[in-house]
Amino acid sequence: MMQDFGQFAANNWELFVALFIILFLLARTWIGPGAASMVLPTEAIQLINHKNALVVDVRTDKEYQQGHIMNALHIPLGVLEDRVQELQAYKASPIVLVCRSGARSAQAAGKLRKLGFADVHNMGGGMLAWERASLPTTTEPGAPPEPAPSRSSESSPEASSEVRKVVVYTTRQCPFCTRAIDLLNAKGVGFTEIRIDKDKSKRTEMESRAHGQTTVPQIFIGDVHVGGCDDMYALEDKGELDELLGLQSTDDEKPQEPAA
């Protein structure tokens, strides 16, 4: 039998070379430089339930709409780099990448690692493995978890525990959106960017939250609708933006001046 196999291999050496190349490329995808760790569906559940992990589904719109993990953020692989700003607030959180079988999510995980995301996991077997394990899926949109505080915020004694969640609704080629994001970045504030030109449901969501406003950006700090870019800069000019963001104490908390 071994002799027959040897003869078969000799007669089909091109096939074995191709197989070796494929296995090598797969190995680089899964365990090469910058690769993310691979987790099973049961391990992904532990990350979601106990470490507040963000699930990012990189499948197509059609695949996602047919069923996805509850509260998964949908960012198709093809637009991941365009929408990576939406993940900036989650740099200190575990991120679990999911696709149909694990191949596209492995690519996505590699991209995020190269962009500086450290706690990145690829769910091996993808949604096929998730469904084989009889784990629940939904077709309803959900709410991603709150991002974990950054390490710098945790280590700083001056960091406020009242920093508000910031959400910015944007489109791709919007100079006012860029200007608003630049101000938030300058303040070191984590935020979630939601691109309404990629998802019509997000445009509807924005208009509902913004009481019918259709222009971008629309900025929300906690439960407060700030408005657009000019509105946020107006708060900055009046010295009120940091307080709204939770970056400084309110006047009531400031020490009183000693009486003369």
Q: What CA–CA distance (Å, rounded) separates 23 from 17?
A: 10
Q: What CA–CA distance (Å, rounded) separates 58 from 47?
A: 18
Q: What CA–CA distance (Å, rounded) separates 64 from 19?
A: 32
Instruction: State both tokens at 255.
Output: 């020490």
State the catalytic residue, choosing from 99, 174, 177, 229. 99
Nearest to 201 by CA among 139, 115, 126, 125: 139
State how beta strands 166-170 and 120-123 pair. unpaired
Q: Is 174 a catalytic residue?
A: no
Who's near 38: CB < 8 A, 6+ residues apart?
30, 102, 106, 121, 122, 123, 124
Q: Return the active site residues.
A: 99
